[in-house]
Structure 1
C-alpha cells in the first residue's frame, strides 16, 4: 500500500513518518491533461481497493452491530453539537438538520451492508502525492484514519468531482458557485443510480460505488470516467 511507514523511538515521545517522494497533486480538473488524470486515477483506484479490503481486527470494530444509518446519524449529531456549542470549524446547524432529515431515504438501501473497513478520512488533493508523470507515489496525513461501516468508506474521493463545498485549488470561485447552483437544481429532479455533476463546465455521469461491486478493474474504470 502506498502509505508511509511510521517509526517510534521509546526515548522520545516523537512519531516519525517515512519520507514520501513526489509532490502534492493539488490542482485537479482540466489544467491536468486527460492522459495524466487517467494515469493517476488508475493508481488511485488500486490504492482505494487496497485500503477498503484490509481486514479490520475485531477489537477495532467494537460496535459491529450498528447499521450505517445509525452510524451516519451519530456522525451528523456530533457535528451538530459542535456547531451549537460554537466549537465547529465549519458547517452550520441548518445544514446538519437538513442532512439528518435525508438519512432514512439515503441509507435505506445501504443498511444491508454489514461490514466495517478502514478509511483515510482526509483524502483531498494535497494529501495525494504524485510523480512528475502523474503516477501515485503515496498518500500522506493519516491523522483522521478510522474504522467505519462499508457504505461510509466506499465512495469516490470528493475532490475528483468538484462537489459543492469542496473548493479545489485552481477552481475559480464563480465556477464553484455556478456548479453548486446547478447541482442543487439537478437534485430537485427524480433520483437515479448516477449522480450528474459538472466540473469545469463539463458534465460527467458518476456511477455510484457499492460494496457489492468492488474489484480493481471496475473501480479504475469508474474513476477514469470522471476524466473524460
Structure 2
C-alpha cells in the first residue's frame, strides 16, 4: 500500500486546498495501477476517492483518462460520471459514486423488468455520450462498469482490468482506458449483452441477450427520434449493425475471441497469401528485432493452422522483398 507519510501529506494538502479538516482516509484497496483511498468531506457529506499512481506509466494513463473525463463533464454536465475535484502529478481526487456494480448480466438474477429499467438508463447515457461534440468517447463496457441503485443506473466507470476489489469500495472509478474514436468504432453494444464469441461474461454458456440488445436499440431509437442532433439517425443504424465491427475489434484485443474469429470468419475462406506475406514482412522489415518475438512466432504458427493460409511469413526472401 502507498507509503503512510505520502498519504498523510496528501490529506494535509487537500485540507489546506479546500479549507476543511479531512478525517483519516478509509477503505483502502490496491488495483492494477493505483492505490485508492476514500475520504469523507466533513461539511457537505460527500465521499471522495483518492487515486495514487503506482508508477510513472500509471500516472501517464491517469492523466489521459482525467483529461477525457473533464472534457465529458464540461460538454455533458448531467452525465452520470464522477467529477474530477483536483489533480496533481502524484494523485487525483474524484467524486465517489454510490450504488453497487451489476456484477454479471444474468437473466436468472436480473428480472426482465429490472433489465429493461437498467437498459433505459444506459440508452440515455450512451446517446448523450455518442452525441457529445467531437471528439467522441468510446470504451468497452463490462457489467462491472455499471453502477445501479434502487432507481436504476446511478453511474458508470471504466476499468483497465478487473482490478477493483469487491467490497464496499468497489465503486471507485478508473477512466484510464477511455479513448476518443470515430463514431463507427464508438457505437456498439455493452459487452455484457453483445454475445461476442469468446467474451467471458461468467453466466451460463447458453445464456444469450438478443432480446436485451433489441430493447436497448429500440430505447436509443426512441431517444434519437425525438432529437434534432444531426447524427441521431446514424447512431440507430450503426448500433443495429455493429456486431461484425465489434467482433473484429475485440478479436484484436482478446486471444480467445481472436481464435473464434479465425475459426468462424477466416478458416476455409480465400485469403490472399501474398498480401499477408507483404503486410507482416513490411512490419518486420521495420521492426527487425521482433522477428523472433514469441508473439510473432505464435501468430505465424496460428496462421499456418488455418486452412488455406499456409504462409511462411518469416522466410527471409519475403522480408527482403518488401524491405
- TM-score normalised by structure 2 residue count: 0.36
Does 1 or 2 have the higher relative contact order (CA < 8 Å, sep 6+)? 1
Bigger radius of gyration: 2
